[in-house]
Structure formats: C-alpha cells, structure tokens
C-alpha cells in the first residue's frame, strides 16, 4: 500500500467516523505534551545541576581567595617565604578556574584544557563535566553570560592582586620601606573588598538564573496543563487523573527549585542568599525597636587536610556535624547559615550583652574542636570566629559582613580557634 492510498483511507475514515479522528488528535496532542514535559524536565534538571555545580565551584574559589589574602597579610607581617608559598598555592586554585574559562571561550573550545583547569581549581571531578557542558550550552543565555562577565572581572582583579603581591615581595626583599609596605597592605584590603563584591554578584546572578528557569518552567507547565486539561475533558476522566499527577509533579519540582534557591543542600541550613535576606529583615526590626544584633562569621581550621586525607564524603559528613553543632549552640531566634565551602555564619538576634555573644562563640569553638569520629576516622578540626555588632560596627549587611570577615582574619592571624570582635585587639 503506497502513501497516497494510506492518506486516502485515513481521510475516508475521518469523514465516516469523526470520533476516531478526534480521539487520534487528542492522543497526538497527549503524546506531544508528554514529550514536551520530558524535555522540559530534562532541561530543568540539567540547568539545576549546572547551577549547583557552579555554586559549589564559587565556594571553592571564594575559599581560595580568602586563603590567598590571609597568607599574603601574614607574609606582610612575617616576611616568611613559606607563608608566601601558601599564598601562591591558593592562587593556583584561582588560576585553574581562569584557565578553564579561557579554554571554554576559545574558538574552538578546548574541553581538555578546561577540564585540567577546573581540576586545578579543586572542583569535584563529578562536577567538572557538568560545568563544561553547562558553560558551552548556556554561555550566551542572559544570566550565564552576565555571570561569565563577572567572572572575567574577578580574574582581572586577581591579576591586580597578584601584581600587588609581587610588589610587596619585592619591597620586603629590598628596601622594606614602611610607608610603601603600608600602602600595599591597604591595597590588598581594597582588592579583597572588590573581590567579595564580585563573589556576591556572581552568586546572586546564578540564583536569579535559577529563579528564571523556575519561572519559565512554570509558564511552560501552565500552557501544557491547559492543553492537557482540554484533551482530558473530551476523552475521559482517566486523562483528567493524569493531569492531576502531572500537576503534583510540577508542584514538587517548583518546591524543590524554591528550596534549592534558599537552602544549602548538604547541611540543610540556609544558604548565603537566605542569610542575607534574613539579615536585612532583622536589621529593619532592630532599627525600629532599637535593639542589638551580632553577626558571627566562622571558618573551619584544618578542614582541607580532612578532604585530602579521608575524602570528600568524610568532609561532607564533618560539615553536616558542624551544622548540627551550630544549631545546638545558637538560640531559636538566631539565624544560622552555611555561606559556602567551610564558611558558616550566625546572626544573633537581640543579644542582651556582648558576653552572651561571646558565650555562644565559646560553646561553638569548644564543641567543634572536640575530636569527632566521622566514617570511622577520628577528626580533629577547629573553628575561628569573627564578630561584628549592629549598630556599633555597621548598619547594613555588607558592612557587617566585611567587619566580621576582618575580625575573622584577626582571629586566624592570632592563632586560630578563637573569636574576635571587630576592632578588638584582644585574643578571645
């Protein structure tokens, strides 16, 4: 039977039995809706995986950037070459991500060189392929292109930072002019502030992209739902029940995207975005009620050797245990979050006195430094804490974060496993 005869028979059946044609049309629409839904689900899943991989990568980059600044500041005070080599080791991590970006933006792209760069950036090997694919397929989409532009800005700032580091090393090796050294020291802090701003912008753009994907998914879902409902009304109640199941799936997907945008998937704590939002809310209340707030910025000591020695699974379980400790040591009214990598934060809401905040910090330090058995290994880590107080040290979130971060640097420079208030010259 040739094609013309097949078409003729189909048209004849259509005219003699309109119901068959309508049912066939509905089945075709139903199949197309299912295919569209499957494609939408796969695309949304791939985008979510890519966003999560780059958020984790940003956390590693931020950790390396912080270590780089810390070691360079220590080197400025000590002139210890071993400390400068630690700075260079941290710089290698950031240069690795820089290499990956340039390789993927090359014409043609060089995935092998990008893979090598991401691995030098200490990204998880399982994330690397996702990051490469995500970059290549979505680099021209609005939010990803903006994130790549911010990434390029950050790399340019890192070049300036490396130049300052080279000048500082040269100065300490030759004339050791105190005024020149102080100028370079101030330049390091200024560049560090710029890098923090770029880190926050990068995370914010990725979060906006995730929300955009969620919105587009919702719009596509609504359209598919309307078509599917119309087909279901015509054909049978069975299709209507299918619509209900499809709707439940979409709602679950939207809830999951919403949760991922506000929650750290590893520890269940709020993430950086949620923490900043909650801080802004509490600042408004504190200003209206004339109350105090205290921002505790925390960073684990000796965490990297845990990953290197026992693997990422043990490191992840340790981070979960630290999150439990922070919940135990904080009050119900406080806001607890994981900012990325091994960085955590607590906003102590309306503490009566600074001593209350100090007690919270001491409890955290004592519990974190106590030996823990994780995956059969006895783990020994510590935690350093920097504290900034509203309104004494700042009246907005960026200022408080910057002051708490500086206090954290002071705590680490003073020996680690201690807490320091911003501007307080005493060890605690």
Q: How far apart are CA 298 and CA 362, in angstroms?
A: 12
My answer on whether 292 and 174 are in the same domain is no
My answer on whether 150 and 202 are in the same domain is yes
pLDDT tens figures, 278-313: 999 999 999 999 999 999 999 999 999 999 999 999
My answer on whether 84 and 108 are in the same domain is yes
Only one residue has tokens 């979060």, namely 207
Q: How far apart are CA 325 and CA 419, in angstroms?
A: 16
pLDDT number for residue 272: 93
Nearest alpha carbon to residue 148 among 99, 90, 192, 105: 105
My answer on whether 254 and 276 are in the same domain is no
Give domain status of residue 426, yes or no. no
pLDDT number for residue 427: 40
Give domain status of residue 428, yes or no. no
Whether the pLDDT of residue 316 is over 60: the answer is yes
The set of long-range contacts for 405-410, using a CB threshold of 8 Å and a minimum separation of 24, is 405/196, 405/297, 407/297, 408/297, 408/298, 408/299, 408/384, 409/69, 409/70, 409/73, 410/386
Give domain status of residue 101, yes or no. yes
Q: How far apart are CA 404 and CA 88, in angstroms?
A: 25
Total domain count, the chain: 2
Q: How far apart are CA 158 and CA 38, in angstroms?
A: 42
pLDDT number for residue 426: 42
What average pLDDT score do residues 157-171 get? 90
**Positive or negative CA dihedral for 217, 218, 222, 228?**
positive
Cβ atoms of 68 and 125 closer than 8 Å: no
My answer on whether 104 and 44 are in the same domain is yes
How many Cβ atoms sit within 10 Å of the Cβ of residue 81?
Answer: 12
My answer on whether 194 and 226 are in the same domain is yes
My answer on whether 293 and 144 are in the same domain is no
**DSSP code of residue 289:** H
pLDDT tens figures, 352-372: 899 999 999 999 999 999 999
What average pLDDT score do residues 399-416 get? 94
Return mean pLDDT, the chain. 84
Instruction: Write the burial class of residue 394 (CB in 10 Å: 0-12 exposed, 13-18 middle, 19+ buried).
Output: buried
Pairing of strands 335-340, 293-301: unpaired
Q: How far apart are CA 113 and CA 135, in angstroms?
A: 14
Tokens for 183, please give them. 């100028």
Whether the pLDDT of residue 4 is over 60: the answer is no
- Whole domain around residue 19: which residue ranges? 1-262
Give the list of residues 6+ apart from residue 385 with CB closer than 8 angstroms, or none: 296, 297, 298, 361, 364, 365, 408, 411, 418, 419, 420
Instruction: Write the burial class of residue 226 (CB in 10 Å: 0-12 exposed, 13-18 middle, 19+ buried).
Output: exposed
Whether the pLDDT of residue 9 is over 60: the answer is no
What is the share, in percent, of the chain residues with pLDDT greater than 70?
A: 78
What average pLDDT score do residues 256-272 get? 80
Whether the pLDDT of residue 428 is over 50: the answer is no
My answer on whether 173 and 285 are in the same domain is no
Give domain status of residue 427, yes or no. no
Cβ atoms of 131 and 57 closer than 8 Å: yes
Domain boundary among 262, 295, 310: 262
Q: How far apart are CA 382 and CA 416, in angstroms?
A: 8
My answer on whether 62 and 90 are in the same domain is yes
What average pLDDT score do residues 179-189 get? 89
Question: Residue 263: what are its φ and ψ, rounded to 5°?
Answer: -125, 140
My answer on whether 247 and 283 are in the same domain is no
Residue 144 or residue 82, greater confidence = 82
Give domain status of residue 366, yes or no. yes
Only one residue has tokens 């500041």, namely 73
My answer on whether 297 and 379 are in the same domain is yes
> What CATH number does the domain containing 382 carry?
3.30.70.270
Q: How far apart are CA 419 and CA 398, in angstroms?
A: 20
**DSSP code of residue 18:** H
Give domain status of residue 282, yes or no. yes
Domain boundary among 195, 228, 262: 262
**Positive or negative CA dihedral for 70, 74, 76, 82?**
negative
Max mean pLDDT range (28-37, 242-251, 333-342): 333-342
Domain boundary among 226, 243, 262: 262
My answer on whether 168 and 276 are in the same domain is no
Predicted TM-score of the model (pTM) = 0.45
Give domain status of residue 295, yes or no. yes
Cβ atoms of 419 and 386 closer than 8 Å: yes
Max mean pLDDT range (74-88, 185-199, 400-414): 400-414
Q: What is the DSSP string of 171-187?
A: HHHTT--HHHHHHHHHH
The distance from CA 62 to its chain's CA centroid, rounded to whole angstroms, is 10
Give domain status of residue 290, yes or no. yes
């Amino acid at each position: 039977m040739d094609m013309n005869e097949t078409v003729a028979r189909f048209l004849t059946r259509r005219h003699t039995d309109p119901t068959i044609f309508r049912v066939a049309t509905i089945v075709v629409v139903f199949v197309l809706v299912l295919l569209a839904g499957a494609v939408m689900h796969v695309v949304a899943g791939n985008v979510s995986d890519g966003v999560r991989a780059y958020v984790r990568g940003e956390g590693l980059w931020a950790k390396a950037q912080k270590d780089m600044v810390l070691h360079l500041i220590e080197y400025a005070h000590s002139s210890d070459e071993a400390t400068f080599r630690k700075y260079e080791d941290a710089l290698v991590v950031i240069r690795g991500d820089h290499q990956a970006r340039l390789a993927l933006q090359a014409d043609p792209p060089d995935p092998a060189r990008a893979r090598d760069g991401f691995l030098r950036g200490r990204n998880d090997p399982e994330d690397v392929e996702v990051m490469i694919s995500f970059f290549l397929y979505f680099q021209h989409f609005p939010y990803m292109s903006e994130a790549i532009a911010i990434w390029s800005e950050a790399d340019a700032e890192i070049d300036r930072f490396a130049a300052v580091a080279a000048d500082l090393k040269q100065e300490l090796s030759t004339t050791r002019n105190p005024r020149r050294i102080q100028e370079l020291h101030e330049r390091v802090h200024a560049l560090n502030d710029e890098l923090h701003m770029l880190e926050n912008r990068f995370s914010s753009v990725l979060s906006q992209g995730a929300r955009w994907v969620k919105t587009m998914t919702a719009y596509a879902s609504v359209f598919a739902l309307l078509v599917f409902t119309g087909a279901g009304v015509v054909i049978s109640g069975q299709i209507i029940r299918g619509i209900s199941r499809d709707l439940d799936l979409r709602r679950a997907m939207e809830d999951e995207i919403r949760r991922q945008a506000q929650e750290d998937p590893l520890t269940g704590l709020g993430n950086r975005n949620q923490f900043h939002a909650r801080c802004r809310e509490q600042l408004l209340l504190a200003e209206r009620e004339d109350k105090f707030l205290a921002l505790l910025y925390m960073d684990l000591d000796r965490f990297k050797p845990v990953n290197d020695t026992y693997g990422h699974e043990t490191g992840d379980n340790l981070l979960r245990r630290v999150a439990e400790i922070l919940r135990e040591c904080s009050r119900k009214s406080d806001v607890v979050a994981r900012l990325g990598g091994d960085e955590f934060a607590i906003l102590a809401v309306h503490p009566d006195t600074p001593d209350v905040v100090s007690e919270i910090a001491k409890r955290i330090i004592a519990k974190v430094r106590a030996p823990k058995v994780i995956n059969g290994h006895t783990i020994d880590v510590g935690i350093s804490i920097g504290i900034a107080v509203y309104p004494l040290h700042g009246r907005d979130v960026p200022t408080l974060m910057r002051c708490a971060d500086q206090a954290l640097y002071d705590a680490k420079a003073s020996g680690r496993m201690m807490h320091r208030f911003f501007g307080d010259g005493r060890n605690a």
